[in-house]
Amino acid sequence: MSTSKLIESFESSYLKKELPDFKIGDTVKVHTKIKEGQKERIQIFMGIVIAKKGSKLSETFTVYRNAYGCSMERVYLIHSPNVHKIEILKRGKVRRAKLYYLKGKSGKKAKVQEKIFVKKTKAPLKTKEKIEEVKERTEASAEEKKTKETKPKKPKEY
């Protein structure tokens, strides 16, 4: 077995199986495990992904955030055991591979145009049941209207 194949097989055992498909410009929440003494807690860092580098086990991504006039930037290893979870909040519409130009900006200038995306549902939608429910509602509302119209109106007394 050659050295490169040996390294590849070793690295494949440490790769995370399920990762979200996030890209440059996306707003993400990164949940990281932090060990303080004997206690372990999860810290959340929210920001815009401004860069992705590397491949396989050494792949990193950079998250940038400007809060209260103080800009922060953190670099994470995607396959690190300390990265607990990555949540995608918004999809960004960008035309650059690196968004380093956002570093000096603040306010509306530092915003990235948003792409509208729909989260995929895991369970299939039950359309037949929903159609039946809608039919029942419309029939019930039609009956209510008929009962209101059939009631005789009282004459006004002056």
* Residue 53: inside a domain: yes
Using CA atoms, how far residue 86 sits from 29, 69, 119, 139, in Å, is 6, 25, 15, 46
* Residue 141: inside a domain: no
The domain that holds 33 is classified in CATH as 2.30.30.790
User: Residue 38: what pLDDT?
Assistant: 92
* Residues 89, 101: Cα–Cα separation, whole Å: 21
How many domains would you assign to the chain? 1
> Could you read off the pLDDT tens digit of each residue along the chain, which spans 158 residues?
788 888 888 888 888 888 888 899 999 999 999 998 899 999 999 999 999 999 888 899 999 998 888 888 999 999 999 999 999 998 988 888 898 888 877 676 677 777 766 565 555 555 667 777 878 888 887 777 766 666 666 777 76
* Residue 122: inside a domain: no
Using CA atoms, how far residue 90 sits from 22, 93, 120, in Å, is 10, 10, 14
* Residue 158: inside a domain: no
Q: Is 155 helix (H, G, I), strand (E, B) or coil?
A: coil
Q: In this predicted model, what pLDDT tens digit does every residue of 92-107 receive, in sequence order?
A: 888 888 988 888 776 7
* Residue 99: inside a domain: yes
* Residue 86: inside a domain: yes
Range of the domain at 54: 3-12+20-115
User: Residue 104: what pLDDT?
Assistant: 78
First-to-last C-alpha distance (Å) of the chain = 105
* Residue 156: inside a domain: no
* Residues 61, 144: Cα–Cα separation, whole Å: 59
* Residue 109: inside a domain: yes
